[in-house]
Structure 1
Amino acid sequence: MRISRFAAATATIAASALVLSACAAPQSEVVEGSSITVAWNQPFYSYNSNTSFGNATANANIVYLTSGGFNYYNNEPALVKDESFGTYELVSEDPLTVKYTIADDVQWSDGTPVDAADMLLAWAANSGVLNTPDFDPGEFTDPETGEFTDDYPTDVVYFDGAIGAGLQLVTETPEIDGKSITLVYDEFFVDWELVFGVGLPAHVVAQRALGIEDAQEAKDALVEAVQNADAAALAPISSVWNSDWNFTELPAEEDANLLVVNGPYKITDFVADQSITLTANENYRGENLPNIEEITIRFISDPLAAVQALANGEVDIISPQATADVADALAALDGVTVLGGEEAVYEHFDLTFENSKNGTFDNPLLREAFLKTIPRQQIVDTLIKPLNPEAEVRNSQLFLPGAAGYDETVANNGMAEKFGEVDIEGAKALIAEAGVTDPAVCILYASNNPRRVNEFALIQASAQEAGFVVEDCGSPEWGGLLGTPGAYDAVFFGWQSTSLGVTNSSSTFRTGGINNLNYYSNPQVDALLDELDVTLDPERQIEIQLEIDKLLMDDFYGVTIFQFPAVTAFSDRVTNVNPGPLSPTIFWNAWDWEPTESN
């Protein structure tokens, strides 16, 4: 499933790498020879989860386990500072000025120190400040794969980073000093604590982009390129940053530097479409030393297959998409602990406003008509209530059910009123008014996910009754296609929340936001998001979000469907599995997992 772009921006800071002081490496706590296997429902395919292509939970999980950061969320959820990786200081509120400092001895897995060059690269990549103006990468994106084509120009600077998540407000090149960087914001940003961290290794990026062998020389060249806005050097640097870390199997020996990380684990094996193996990083200098030496993550898309693998002892931890069959199958297992609840993930159906396959939803009448056909209540009754009898249709793009403002927005935004029930006749009338015959709608979804296959069947049957021609554009590689021009007209998947930040939705609904996958644009929404970014008053924050929620529905943006029911199960070979509601859910405290005598 995709994660929110705001979340992607914090993925690099959300890694749980705590660092001990002193010069010597801490005594290892790893249990030699210990190993466990975890099942996940989507293969890993990119180590750079801050790009539009790599922005997926399946990728962010691996980044989290192998990266250090300034803070992370625990399972309460509460933000925990990781001061042994580094510290950050609010120097000034006007102008907002924040200084970040990497702790002594923090290093990449190849022994290269983590320092200000790495943070300067993170700013350059995720602020967009150095990007070539008016460059449109959509012209060079393959609609079949979502990756950039061979025709991608070599003379443009374009970092496909987490634009819109806050760093775009830092337009002046930050000052650096050794292991420190100071960010000065043009305006106050309410969620400043959540938007910055170390991403890819600067020395490796520069080595690959500029052909420089020595790590320090490579860093120096990258710093010089950023500070001087040297487009000739930044063009290959941005291209390498965008694309080189996309890989679906273990890189060849000559590309081994793609595996350089700074967290508790490092990637040691990767079999395409099968599994990825992480091993404790001997060069990790954090306090959160892992107990388990090796974690293998198997890619199992079918939830029942994951349960069967757990029953067979092939995997030790699973967190599949919950269904009634999954619940029944888990109840029959011995030696397994099952945890339930509700995830901070919600299913949503979005319409594409521009760059779609058929152009159907360029017409607002057809957008409204299609939303009238989506059988949201039937989906919840059929697929979710067997797991959670109290489950209800979610009726807000911004508010979590039960949170302050949710009831008010449901009464105000029009989602429940206009699209609470299927209205085939109303949809037919709107199609007729639009003067279109047999409007085509290509729907993208995860075709290897049984629940999503069932959802698509229900949506297709209902929409076709109204006169839409619904094309099955489902794909196992759906994640990499999100936001790809010309690939589809509509899509449904789950947004995974990874923070409690009030600006969490900014890069999703903002014009040009890195998480704006359906090319939505409304100047009023943009202005409200700008205000939300700098608003500290909680009451006004809610008022702004209420206004945005209604504007989205007035534009027939899409609809939300349900909050995910959660299920995690683990065998008696491992303890201390305590999933949290935010991404990375089961992995947030992987360093605390302990093997039992059964391991």
Structure 2
Amino acid sequence: MKRISAAVALTAAGALVISGCAAGGGDDTGDDSGLVEGSAITAAWNQAFYSMNGNTSFGNATANNNINYLTLDGFNYYNNTPELVENTSFGTYELVSEDPLTVTFTVAEDVTWSDGTPVDAADLMLNWAALSRALDTPDFSPDDFTDPDTGEFTESFPTDVVYFDSGATPESGMGLVSETPEVGEDGRSITMTFDQPFVDWDLVFTPPLPAHVVAKNALGIEDNEEAKQALLDAIENEDAEALAPISSFWNSGFNFTELPDDPERYLATGPYMITDFVADEYITLKANPEYKGENAANIEEITIRFIPDPLAAVQALENGEVDIISPQATADIKTALDGIDGITVLTGLEGTYEHVDLQFDQGKNSQNIFSNAQAREAFMKVIPRQEIVDTLIKPIIGDDAILRDSQLFVPGAEGYDEAAADNTSANFAEVDIEGAKALLAESGITDTSVCILYASNNPRRVNEFALIQASAAQAGFNVTDCGSEEWGGLLGTPGAYDASLFGWQSTSLGVTNSLPTFVTGGINNMNFYSNERVDEIITELNGTFDAETQIELQVEMDRLLWEDFYGVTIFQFPSVTAYSDRVENIDPSIIAPTIFWNAWDWAVTDGGSEE
């Protein structure tokens, strides 16, 4: 018998990650029955994993962070309420002083990597160096050393510069910790002093990568403890000669599309560890025997198959080849799932939104078309936002399918209605061909080609691209196809495209964590946008603890983004998760990592292994 849930409400959400697809919400549940030996299930996702470092501009994608969430432990995570949960079995954090803002992060005793090496201050210090970029070579830009076909750094990348590709800026987050932290006497803690107050100080630490592995590879050291000490020395002495190869390995050493020969490149601290990985086919996770935390796995083995075509994912579920799917929702998907018995279907809205960004600089067009404000406004006028919603989204969720009219606020969240009324999104609710023609003529642009980057193996995106292309042609734009299956790694690559069509997925409820999308030089600033007042607002938000003032600042910022013709938001994602009756405790969150947030609680109902 099939069970179908009702749609869920959305709450405001913060930090953003490049989205593939995600799921709807539910209630917090748990299962402390313990590991069932021999138990195994298979889930499906629409994009292949390619990096264990989700903190780089290249690796910051849902496809990666789903896996990293289960294999790399951290100080906190979000449940599906959603609310922040302090993961004290990994470590704790303490506010030492409010003025100056000083905090101590401490790794719990007996926390180790899956090779048995203790997690300690060296791992935390590497995380600080990478996420603050306080030790980077000043004024270095990687733009000339980025492959436009892959988005990765080229072999010609200078070997004598310190550059951590985290996108950190001095005005926000860990970038506000410009002084080198102090290592505690216990060897498991560091104390950081912020340059100014920062409202989301408890969210600055993401799960660390193994310092001993980075240092061994970067510095040619074989012993784990010697490697960690060498890394600490390099950081504390600001040794640029040693930090250059350290930053280089941190940037790219954890990128891989199949199981590496060196097992140290995929060590784990979380409840699961990678044990098998076949390019473009699947990745297998097994319960980590070294994990001693509170979120111990119930199921011994989880295999995640990469199935880009959502209808193929539905077919795999019906055939019993996979147990859990969370494909990008379409009308065809809904119809197909309605015809399957023996499954549970959860539907609703989620914390991901579709949008089109325009490249303010370094586009593919010979005249860098969207450096011109009139050309940007003209193109926004021809994006058929309402037609996209009516054609592709309403057949799935009916009247819940609405235009999203804010770059910062989720529909229904406090501040959304005020922002939508204050900004100029209404000017782009309907297509205006004649207005676009006039603006394009006034712009002086003669090369009207616009190459759009999108996921070429995603049916909904293919349809969106076609609708935009047809509409834009009526105003004189020549929209060309920059679609790619490797679209995520290409975002932000100079010269690769002129506009991008993708989704931002919320990963946090923090006030400040969506701001790296819009701050000059931020990790999520893929379109080279820069506005001095927006940067000022972001700096103000970093230290603003009053909720009413936070909303006022964000409303002003939202208005500026629309007035700058940043790009358009289109819709909030509809979600669908379906799973077979042989699994239970599938209870998605509206924010990342959606279905995977409680994968350690998943259980096989028959207690057996998958055939």
TM-score, normalised by the number of residues in structure 1: 0.95
- Which stretches of structure 1, 4 residues or longer, exceed 6 Å deviation after superposition? none
- How far has the Cα of 1:287 moved from its partner? 1.8
8 Å contact 1:8–1:50 — kept in the other structure?
no
Pick the aligned partner of 1:397 from 407, 417, 426: 407
CA deviations over 1:316-349 (Å, ceiling 9, x no partner) = 0000111111111111111100011111000011
Whether 1:311 and 2:332 are equivalent positions in the alignment is no
Whether 1:148 and 2:153 are equivalent positions in the alignment is yes
Partner SS, residue 372 of structure 1: helix
Residues in 2 aligned to 1:7 and 1:235: alpha-carbon distance in whole angstroms: 28
- How far has the Cα of 1:410 moved from its partner? 1.0
Whether 1:579 and 2:583 are equivalent positions in the alignment is no
- How far has the Cα of 1:183 moved from its partner? 1.1
Residues in 1 aligned to 2:505 and 2:218: alpha-carbon distance in whole angstroms: 33
Partner residue, 1:383: 392
Residues in 2 aligned to 1:333 and 1:397: alpha-carbon distance in whole angstroms: 37
Partner SS, residue 562 of structure 1: strand
Residues in 2 aligned to 1:6 and 1:334: alpha-carbon distance in whole angstroms: 37
- How far has the Cα of 1:28 moved from its partner? 9.8
Q: Partner letter of residue 234 of structure 2?
A: A
8 Å contact 1:5–1:515 — kept in the other structure?
no
- How far has the Cα of 1:70 moved from its partner? 0.9
Partner residue, 1:368: 377
Partner residue, 2:141: 136
CA deviations over 1:365-391 (Å, ceiling 9, x no partner) = 100000000000000000000111121
Partner residue, 2:88: 83
- How far has the Cα of 1:573 moved from its partner? 1.3
Residues in 1 aligned to 2:545 and 2:300: alpha-carbon distance in whole angstroms: 44
Partner residue, 2:550: 541
Pick the aligned partner of 1:523 from 532, 537, 548: 532
Q: Partner letter of residue 493 of structure 1?
A: F
8 Å contact 1:322–1:566 — kept in the other structure?
yes
Residues in 2 aligned to 1:136 and 1:69: alpha-carbon distance in whole angstroms: 30
Partner residue, 2:290: 283
Partner SS, residue 389 of structure 1: helix
Partner residue, 2:3: none
Q: Partner letter of residue 346 of structure 1?
A: Y
Q: Partner letter of residue 159 of structure 2?
A: T
Partner SS, residue 88 of structure 1: strand
Whether 1:190 and 2:199 are equivalent positions in the alignment is yes
Partner residue, 1:209: 218
Map 1:92-491 → 2, pairs under 5 A = 92-164=97-169, 166-177=173-184, 178-252=187-261, 255-358=262-365, 359-390=368-399, 391-416=401-426, 418-491=427-500
- How far has the Cα of 1:435 moved from its partner? 2.4
Residues in 2 aligned to 1:379 and 1:225: alpha-carbon distance in whole angstroms: 52
8 Å contact 2:36–2:607 — kept in the other structure?
no
Residues in 1 aligned to 2:67 and 2:302: alpha-carbon distance in whole angstroms: 11
Q: Partner letter of residue 226 of structure 2?
A: E
Task: Give the gaps of 5 or more residues in structure 2.
Answer: 1-12, 19-31
CA deviations over 1:225-253 (Å, ceiling 9, x no partner) = 0001100000000000001111000102x
8 Å contact 1:369–1:427 — kept in the other structure?
yes
Q: Partner letter of residue 400 of structure 1?
A: V
Partner SS, residue 443 of structure 1: strand
8 Å contact 1:38–1:317 — kept in the other structure?
yes
- How far has the Cα of 1:288 moved from its partner? 1.2
Residues in 1 aligned to 2:465 and 2:207: alpha-carbon distance in whole angstroms: 39
Residues in 1 aligned to 2:268 and 2:211: alpha-carbon distance in whole angstroms: 11
- How far has the Cα of 1:260 moved from its partner? 1.1
- How far has the Cα of 1:437 moved from its partner? 3.3
Residues in 2 aligned to 1:228 and 1:197: alpha-carbon distance in whole angstroms: 24
Residues in 2 aligned to 1:94 and 1:251: alpha-carbon distance in whole angstroms: 46
Partner SS, residue 500 of structure 2: strand
Q: Partner letter of residue 429 of structure 1?
A: A
Residues in 2 aligned to 1:53 and 1:246: alpha-carbon distance in whole angstroms: 9
Residues 5 and 201 (structure 1 numbering): CA distance in 2 closer, same or farther, change over 3 Å?
Answer: farther
CA deviations over 1:275-326 (Å, ceiling 9, x no partner) = 0000111111112110100000000111111000000000000001111111
Partner residue, 1:15: none
Question: How much identity, in percent, do the aligned residues show?
Answer: 68
8 Å contact 1:5–1:162 — kept in the other structure?
no
Residues in 2 aligned to 1:162 and 1:430: alpha-carbon distance in whole angstroms: 34
Q: Partner letter of residue 422 of structure 1?
A: V
How many pairs does the alignment contain? Answer: 576
- How far has the Cα of 1:505 moved from its partner? 2.2
- How far has the Cα of 1:5 moved from its partner? 9.8
Pick the aligned partner of 1:567 from 576, 592, 606: 576
- How far has the Cα of 1:438 moved from its partner? 4.9
Residues 28 and 130 (structure 1 numbering): CA distance in 2 closer, same or farther, change over 3 Å?
Answer: farther
Residues in 2 aligned to 1:126 and 1:542: alpha-carbon distance in whole angstroms: 27
Residues in 2 aligned to 1:504 and 1:478: alpha-carbon distance in whole angstroms: 23
Q: Partner letter of residue 77 of structure 1?
A: P
8 Å contact 2:584–2:604 — kept in the other structure?
yes
Residues in 2 aligned to 1:430 and 1:244: alpha-carbon distance in whole angstroms: 47
- How far has the Cα of 1:33 moved from its partner? 0.9
- How far has the Cα of 1:265 moved from its partner? 0.6
8 Å contact 1:292–1:593 — kept in the other structure?
yes
- How far has the Cα of 1:162 moved from its partner? 4.5
